[in-house]
């Protein structure tokens, strides 16, 4: 039993921390979010130069051979700084699909571009009727000659406005919610028949609605075996949930620190409001919610390679914990900051908004409670 970080892992954390401290303060983040692009390609390239985008790939693939712990460290620091750029979408999701399900040819063609910060990817999976069910798909791919033709619609595809390439979940056979018959395709965002409409999200990022109309892809665009992709999708989204949990604890940590600091300095009735016991206990509850979330984040990162059932319970368990804790910490941080907590000017509201949407991303508390219950 050992919960300490290796020397390399501590170095990684220090280097991400000092980079973000210098280059990603809250004002910079605000400007990036409000810019017409909505993200910083320049910073993305610098993440690549730091080696962050290489972390989870094996050395044979040109990566650094990191584990889920390295991803956790990067995402925790990203969470503390509210980083907008698509690390989860490009490295954890698309990188995860290519790394664990892609052919050697696909890996050789695409992973260097990810590691180098040249190509941005995202995962187009959600559909309006499907809510959080990854298998509830009406987007289809039909075999046609050597390749496939894709038709359908994907909603709230996060980071899609910045992406060059998409990984799209489709139905190649079976009924609308069958586990069998789900496939994954690599699609160029500028391919004929792909049309996107972009919009801002409430947490300061961007997303797109994407329509696929007779989009032709070659057989080499299929990831893994046709119709058998659901287990891979479950695995990779669980890995993304682990990364998202790390982002959440980074955000909670910042909110708790800011709240304690504020309550020590804000005076009402002649004393710092942190002297009031009712607020002290509130902050203790926030602290405990955070500590429990840290535990679940470590736990899921360490269990991603276990059996499907164990992994699924770990990921859904973590998602429930961070969903509930994120809501509590976020709401109370706003409440204890009073009117200031409501403003756009202070960073508190921005963490609160991001934590709120982290609960929605890949399924909220209710969804993962059911998934956990059904897995047992």
Binding stretches for another protein (CB under 8 A): 126, 128-133, 136, 155-156, 158, 176-177, 197-203, 207, 209, 267-269, 273, 276, 278-279, 327, 331, 334-335, 338-339, 341-345, 349-350, 352-353, 356-357, 360, 364, 366, 369-370
For residue 210, the SS3 value is strand
Residue closer to another protein by CB (options 294, 355) is 355
**Smallest distance from another protein to CB 53, Å:** 24
Other beta carbons less than 10 A from residue 325's beta carbon: 26
Q: How far is the CB of 131 from another protein (least distance, A)?
A: 5
Question: Residue 305: exposed, middle, or buried by beta-carbon count in 10 A (0-12, 13-18, 19+)?
Answer: exposed
Q: How far apart are the first and last CA of the chain?
A: 25
Nearer to another protein, 278 or 376 (CB): 278
Whether the Cβ atoms of residue 100 and residue 56 lie closer than 8 Å to each other: no
- In the complex with another protein, the residue whose CB is nearer, 107 or 196, is 196
Torsion angle (degrees, nearest 10) of CA 292, 348, 238, 126: 140
C-alpha to C-alpha distance for 239 and 232, rounded to whole angstroms:
11
The answer for 48, left when phi > 0, alpha when psi is -120 to 50, beta otherwise, is alpha
Q: Minimal distance in Å, beta carbon 8 to another protein?
A: 36
**CA–CA gap between residue 240 and residue 364 (Å, rounded):** 14
CB of 170 to another protein, least distance (A): 18
Q: How far apart are CB 241 and another protein at their closest, in Å?
A: 15
* Closest CB to another protein among residues 140, 356: 356
Write the DSSP symbol of residue 160.
Answer: G
Nearer to another protein, 154 or 303 (CB): 154
322 neighbors 358 (Cβ within 8 angstroms): yes
Tokens linked to 267: 């005076």
Instruction: Give the residue with the Cβ less far from another protein, 5 or 276.
Output: 276
- Closest separation in Å from C-beta 341 to another protein: 8
Q: Could you write out the DSSP letters of every residue in 61-109? A: TTS----HHHHHHHHHHHHHTT--S-HIIIIIIIHHHHHHH--HHHHHH
Considering beta carbons, is residue 106 or 347 the nearer one to another protein? 347
Rounded CA separation 131/346 (Å): 32
Question: Do residues 363 and 372 touch, judged by C-beta distance below 8 A?
Answer: no
Residue 193 or 272 with smaller CB distance to another protein:
272
Shortest Å distance, C-beta 13 to another protein: 29
Task: Give the separation between CA 224 and CA 103, rounded to whole angstroms.
Answer: 7
Residues 247 and 78: beta-carbon distance below 8 Å: yes
Nearer to another protein, 30 or 45 (CB): 30
Strand ranges (E), 81-193: 121-124, 140-144, 147-158, 165-171, 182-188
């Amino acid at each position: 039993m050992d919960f300490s970080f290796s020397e390399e892992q501590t170095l990684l954390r220090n280097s991400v921390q000092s980079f973000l401290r210098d280059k990603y303060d809250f004002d910079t983040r605000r400007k990036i979010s409000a810019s017409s692009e909505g993200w910083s390609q320049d910073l993305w390239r610098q993440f690549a130069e730091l080696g962050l985008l290489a972390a989870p790939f094996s050395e044979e693939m040109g990566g650094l051979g990191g584990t889920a712990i390295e991803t956790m460290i990067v995402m925790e620091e990203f969470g503390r700084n509210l980083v907008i750029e698509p690390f989860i979408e490009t490295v954890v999701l698309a990188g995860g699909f290519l790394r664990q399900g892609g052919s050697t040819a696909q890996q050789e063609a695409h992973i260097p571009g990810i590691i180098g910060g040249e190509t941005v990817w995202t995962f187009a999976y959600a559909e309006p009727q499907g809510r959080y069910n990854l298998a509830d798909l009406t987007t289809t791919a039909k075999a046609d000659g050597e390749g496939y033709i894709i038709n359908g619609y994907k909603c709230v595809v996060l980071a899609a406005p910045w992406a060059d390439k998409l990984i799209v979940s489709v139905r190649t056979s079976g009924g609308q919610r069958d586990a069998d018959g789900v496939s994954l395709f690599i699609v160029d965002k500028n391919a004929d028949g792909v049309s996107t409409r972009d919009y801002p999200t409430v947490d300061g990022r961007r997303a797109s609605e994407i329509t696929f109309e007779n989009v032709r892809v070659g057989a080499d665009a299929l990831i893994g075996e046709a119709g058998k992709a659901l287990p891979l999708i479950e695995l990779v989204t669980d890995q993304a949930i682990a990364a998202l949990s790390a982002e959440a604890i980074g955000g909670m940590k910042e909110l708790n620190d800011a709240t304690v600091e504020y309550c020590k300095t804000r005076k009402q009735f002649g004393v710092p409001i942190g002297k009031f016991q009712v607020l002290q206990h509130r902050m203790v509850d926030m602290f405990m919610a955070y500590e429990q979330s840290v535990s679940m984040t470590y736990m899921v990162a360490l269990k991603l390679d276990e059996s499907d059932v164990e992994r699924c319970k770990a990921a859904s368990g973590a998602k429930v914990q961070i969903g509930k804790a994120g809501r509590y910490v976020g709401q109370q941080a706003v409440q204890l900051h009073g009117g200031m907590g409501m403003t756009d000017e202070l960073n508190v509201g921005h963490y609160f908004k991001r934590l709120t949407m982290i609960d929605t991303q890949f399924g909220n508390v209710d969804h993962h409670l059911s998934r956990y219950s059904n897995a047992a």
